[in-house]
Amino acid sequence: MTGETPLISARQLGAVFDVSKPWLNRMLALEAKQYLTAVDMVDIDIPKGKTFALVGESGSGKSTIGRMIVGLQKPTSGQVLIDGEDFFAISSEKKKMAMRRRIQMIFQSPYASLNPRWRVRHIIGEPIRAFDLLPASEVDGRVAELLDQVGLAKSDGEKFPHEFSGGQRQRIAIARALASNPEFIVCDEPTSALDVSVQSQVLNLMKSLQRELGLTYLFISHDLSVIRYMADEIGVLYLGRLVEVADRDTLFDKPRHPYTRMLMDAAPHIDAFGRTAEIVKGEIPDPINKPSGCSFHPRCTLTEEICRRDRPEVREFGTEKARVACHLCAD
Ligand code: SF4
């Protein structure tokens, strides 16, 4: 996707958390402070109208990146650029609010993300009122339009969230996200809590809304089949670091990083008895004490001395310009 102007960029984005024990405990045990690097120098560019997907095991830093890009969490280092403007450097509250309107988030759990005491028309209308987008007399009409856009009826606006199924609740969450007329939506595992049959309906809805409204997505998932269906470009995260970035076809046709290949081998498949089996190879190391050099080296089958010693830099490969952080990758 080179050459296209990104709507959203992350530049050298980093998140470090202080995970130290309380002061007195540390003093008694003579322990130093401890820090966890959840996100490590991440660079992402997402052109307008495209979907960039982040994939990795749980604890890889996917959601932390999503929260920083949507402005919910301040990065420890680096920048989030929206149309080239550094979001966290904006001092004017009015300008910040205008930026926030352009960015929304859809969360994993359609149960926890909707206020159970509010009627659906109130939930969906809330961003319209918060950003003062329409006169009060026009809000209900706009809510009815949004309900229709996500495949629900106007009368559903009178109900409460508990009266809906999981898939319908996620449709309500999507309608609420659309209510502020956003350009960019961070979708954090939006279908992983849903049944497989409902998953595809929600994914199809998100794709058609993207085409219709020109939306740009950051799509976060641990499920490679979902990623393959949704993404234009994919970033593979391991312990907070992007170890491979490539367009969808390149990544699936020619995965270059040993971790990407391991994720693909570990994708659920049907075993000889017709059951779904998952191959898990090794455990994610302690993120507070990451392995030296390439942090994937304890799980990698190709490890050499250089892998234990030096951190691999990101290099470009092939005409597709796949970016891979591995000492031994040679195209
Ligand atoms: Fe494996 Fe070495 Fe490449 Fe890391 S740098 S992924 S340990 S081959």
- 3-state SS of the chain? CCCCCEEEEEEEEEEEEECCCCHHHHHHHCCCCCEEEEEEEEEEEEECCCEEEEECCCCCCHHHHHHHHCCCCCCCEEEEEECCEEHHHCCCHHHHHHHHHCEEEECCCCCCCCCCCCCHHHHHHHHHHHCCCCCHHHHHHHHHHHHHHCCCCHHHHHCCHHHCCHHHHHHHHHHHHHCCCCCEEEEECCCCCCCHHHHHHHHHHHHHHHHHHCCEEEEEECCHHHHHHHCCEEEEEECCEEEEEEEHHHHHHCCCCHHHHHHHHHCCEECCCCCEECCCCCCCCCCCCCCCCCCCCCCCCCCCHHHHHCCCCCEEECCCCEEECCCCCCC
**The pLDDT of residue 281:** 67
Token pair 């830099």 is found at 313
Is residue 326 within 6 Å of ligand 1 at its C-beta?
yes
Predicted local confidence at residue 268, as pLDDT: 62
Residue with CA nearest ligand 1 atom 3: 326
* Encoded tokens for 193: 């809590």
State the pLDDT at residue 4. 65
> Hey, whose CA ends up nearest to atom 5 of ligand 1?
326
Nearest atom within ligand 1 for CA of residue 312: 5
Predicted confidence at residue 277, as pLDDT, reads: 45
Q: What is the C-alpha separation between 70 and 74, in angstroms, rounded? A: 10
In the predicted model, residues of the chain with pLDDT beneath 70 are 1-4, 267-281
- How many angstroms separate the alpha carbon of residue 296 from the centre of ligand 1? 6
Q: What's the confidence (pLDDT) of residue 24?
A: 87
pTM, two decimals, is 0.91
**Cα dist from 129 to 81, 125, 137, 180, 190, whole Å:** 26, 6, 11, 9, 25
Q: What are the beta bridge partners of residue 37?
A: 16
Q: Which residue has the tokens 């402070």?
A: 33
Look at residue 3 in the predicted model and tell me its pLDDT: 56
Can you give the pLDDT at residue 30? 84
Ligand 1 in reach of 256 Cβ (< 6 A): no
Out of 257, 281, 310, 326, mutate this one to test ligand 1's pocket (max ligand atoms within 8 Å of CB): namely: 326
CB within 8 A of 181, min separation 6: which ones? 101, 133
| pLDDT, position 158 | 96
- The atom of ligand 1 lying closest to the CA of 300 is 1
Alpha-carbon gap, residue 239 to 59, rounded angstroms? 7
pLDDT at 271: 44
Question: Is the CB of residue 327 below 6 angstroms from any atom belonging to ligand 1?
Answer: yes
Ligand 1 centroid distance, CA of 202 (Å) = 37
103-106 and 241-247 beta bridge pairing: unpaired
Taking the C-alpha atoms of residue 221 and residue 54, their distance in angstroms, rounded to an integer, is 6
Residue 112's pLDDT is 78
Structure tokens at 37: 């690097």
| Six token digits for residue 321 | 């310009």
pLDDT value, residue 270: 44
Q: Which of 155, 150, 207 is nearest to 179 (CA)?
A: 150
